[in-house]
Structure 1
Amino acid sequence: MKNKIFLYLFVFAALIVLYQFVSTNNLQKALNSKIDKLSTEVTDLKDSLQQSQLKILDIQYFSLENNDDALAYYDHLELKNPARYIEDKLLETNEKKGNNPLVPYDGMESDFKINKIKVLNHKWLLADFSDGKYWGDLVIKYELKDDLSVDFTLVDHLLYTRSN
């Protein structure tokens, strides 16, 4: 009888060990597949991040902040951020009642005002204008003078037409 109890205990212990082995093996396979999946996602995210960084560098190519030659024109003026200063001066032209004086169109829904500005270099900038419904773009030549005044000259303009 003692032999049968030991035999049953041995078989029971063997079944428990077999169960643990199979269970651990399945858990290991599941974890490895998760690790592989996460590795693939990380690689994809790194590629996506690299593409985004390249796009940002491409967008920043025409930017006063990244153009050392253009920034050299403003070394003597003690401006921390010349692009922001020029943008602020251009936005001040919106404060006049009516259309912005640099926009050569009359607003249809309300007054045309400049919204977004991109300072390209030490001479030119791009601006977007809108009256809330209609919009367009401006190419503006500017001159930042030693007394920190800024003269703006409209070079070209475009009003988008709506197609319904």
Structure 2
Amino acid sequence: MKGKIFLYLFLFMALIALYLFMSNGKMIAAKDAQLEKLDAKIDNLQDSVQQTQLKVLDMQYFSLENNDDALVYYDHLQLEDPSRYIADKLLETNEQKGDNPLIPYEGMESDFKINKIKILNHKWIISDFSDGKYWGELLIKYELNDNLGVDFTLVDHLLYTRSQ
């Protein structure tokens, strides 16, 4: 009788061991598949980050901050951030009552004011203007003088028309 109990106990333990072995194999396979999916996702995200960084670098190509040749023109002025200084001077033209004097249009809803500014190099700026409903863009030539005054000259402009 003791022999049969040990035999049944041995068979029961063998079945448990077999079950644990099979379930561990399936669990390892499931975890491996999950890791492969996560690795593929990481690779995809790294590619996206790299593409985004390349786009940012491409967009910064025409920028005074990244143009050492253009920045050399302002070395003698010892400005900490020439781009910020020039942008601030351009935004000061918005402080006048009425439309901005650089914008050759009269505001239809309110006064036209400059909103966004992109300083391309040591001579040109592209900017966006709006009156709240209508908008356009300006190409501005500027000159930063030794006395830190900035002279702005409108080169070209456009006003977007609403198509309804």
Moved over 3 A (4+): none
1:82 and 2:82 aligned: yes
RMSD: 0.6
Secondary structure of the 1:86 match is helix
C-alpha distance in 2 between matches for 1:87 and 1:34: 51
C-alpha distance in 2 between matches for 1:84 and 1:9: 83
Unpaired runs of 5+ residues, structure 1, are none
| Cα-to-partner distance string for 1:24-70 (whole Å, 9 max, x where unaligned) | 11110111011000110111011111111110111000000010000
Residue 45 of structure 2: aligned partner: 45
Amino acid aligned to 2:57 = L
Q: TM-score, normalised by structure 1?
A: 0.99
Amino acid aligned to 1:14 = A
Measure how far apart 1:132 and its partner are. 0.7
| Cα-to-partner distance string for 1:84-138 (whole Å, 9 max, x where unaligned) | 1000000000011111110100111111000000000000000000011110000
Unpaired runs of 5+ residues, structure 2, are none
Indicate the percent of aligned positions where both proteins have the same amino acid: 70
C-alpha distance in 1 between matches for 2:55 and 2:4: 76
Aligned length: 164
Residue 129 of structure 2: aligned partner: 129
Residue 92 of structure 1: aligned partner: 92
Q: TM-score, normalised by structure 2?
A: 0.99
Residue 20 of structure 1: aligned partner: 20
Residue 67 of structure 1: aligned partner: 67
Measure how far apart 1:15 and its partner are. 1.0
Residue 109 of structure 1: aligned partner: 109
